[in-house]
Amino acid sequence: MASTAKQIYYVIFIDDYSHKCWIYFMQKKDQTLSKFCEFKALVEKESRKKIKALRSDNGGEYVSQEFKDFCAAEGIKWELMAPHSPQQNGVAERKNSMIVGAARVMLHDQGPPLHLWAEACNTTVYLQNRSLHRILGMKTLEEDFFGKRQDVVEVHIRFTLCESQLGEVVVNPSVPSMGCLLQPI
């Protein structure tokens, strides 16, 4: 199903060190190179570091001559996985599964129109990047990627019947269109 912006595909890019993720939505798979260029410009500007390698499956969107030429011109080592072996790309496969699973839960639980799937996927990536991870010493993926503590953004979540399912819930009338605001216990 197409999203509100008529997009039906997405591509994720994952930093190998921190596992921070970026998601880009596309109308056609042949937009993958332009999304990679957009991602590359953003990441290199934010981190002040160059992308050294790109690991991908053998999908047609990656194996074009244009993509190969771009990586060669930019000095990016391109690592292709063996065909039909998702095990070799386990990090991306697990991340993709988490994104899709969480987006499905959001859409099922709250009941919004299904064309909002891209917004649900985007929200999932946003929250995963800003969640504390025990394996990182209770740091977020954002902190691990940038090497410094990031500003914590207050996350408002709309719930229905949240009082019966959750512990302490505080109704906040000052937050427009929000059912409630979860407070740390």
Q: Which fold has domain 9-153?
A: Nucleotidyltransferase; domain 5 (3.30.420)
Cβ count near 25 (within 10 Å): 19
Q: Where are the domains of the chain?
A: 9-153, 154-185
What does the pLDDT profile of the chain (185 residues) look like in tens digits?
A: 767 677 889 999 999 888 899 999 999 988 999 999 999 999 999 888 899 999 888 777 778 899 999 999 999 998 888 777 777 778 888 898 899 898 888 888 878 788 888 898 999 999 899 888 888 888 888 888 888 876 655 555 444 333 333 444 444 443 333 333 333 33
